[in-house]
Amino acid sequence: MTTFDHAFDWARRHVDAGTLPGGVLGVATSDGIIALDAFGDAGTGDHYPLFSITKPLVGLAALRLIEQGRLTLETPLATAVPEFGADRDDMVRLRHLVSHTSGIPEPALDVPPGLRPALLAPGRDFAAGAISRYSTIAYEGIAALISHAGGAPWEQQVLETLAGADATGVTFDVEATRHAPVECAEQGVDWELFASHRNPGAGAFATAEDLLAVAVSLLRDDGRLVHPVTRAMMRRSLTDGIPTIDPYPPERGTHWGFTWCLRDAAPAALARDAFGHGGWAGTDFWVHPEHDVAFVFLTNVASSGRLGLGLDELDNAVVTGR
């Protein structure tokens, strides 16, 4: 019988040690939510800033438009933003945006002019498709393509897509959370300015139950979010054979599917089937389809990677279910 005791002990240890002010850990299988608990200053129903877990949630809305014949992986960004790339001699397409291979220069999270001016800033860091380097500004382009192709604001389409799996609490409204990231200013980010952007690559807020509802639908492959053939496509690597650079160098053992991080060669992981995403404030959301399990961990410490939190420790504890 799986208890997941060691996974919950992992979360409790970090909170009891004062590394984290609190957190919520939830585990689900295709049968539904199996275990859910909160630690420290958290409640199980609290909304947390997801940061980059936002990315695959937005990606699901783009995938629905592909299913409807309104987008393809080859759709150019200029279709929705004609002024983009006027000084570039390459073509940035949806497949580049979703796989971190667009070469668009990356601004700060709290860039004062806003996201659209940053997307349109001149220059490039590399030719589209030549290198994979993590990009959040690319999601401003994905959002533009969603709005253009779907004929409705991108936020609306994302929330409607997620509601199909009963993830109805996801929002881009900062007022939903009481867990602003701790030490945000110390890490050089203006939280209020960042939140005002409603960033399509990092600006969503949700509860653990919302994300677990997404996970359950994907584990069941029930078609409520995307068709089974689409789920298979989104897990295929789009970055095989492409050089990768910080913050995801080759030794991390990850590739990029359609907005999903694929931990198919993570050296310290027991299982190699995980797809999901992490976030800047310590959030994690991972699905293991071959092991029929998924987990969500929500917390709120800015630039959490500096604390040495061990995703592999938690992932291994969940996969084994001990």
The domain segmentation of the chain, as residue ranges, is: 5-320
The predicted-structure confidence for 167-210, as pLDDT tens digits, reads as follows 999 999 999 999 999 999 999 999 999 999 999 999 999 999 99
Architecture of domain 5-320: 3-Layer(aba) Sandwich (3.40)
Q: What is the pLDDT of residue 64?
A: 98
Is the Cβ–Cβ distance between 140 and 116 less than 8 Å? yes
pLDDT at 322 over 90: no
Question: CA 65, CA 145: separation in Å to the nearest integer?
Answer: 10
pTM of the model as a whole: 0.97
Alpha helix positions (H), 45-175: 54-67, 94-98, 115-119, 138-150, 154-163
- Buried b / exposed e over 252-270, threshold 16 CB at 10 Å, is ebbbbbbbbbbbbebeebe
pLDDT of residue 244: 95
Determine the residue type at 246.
D
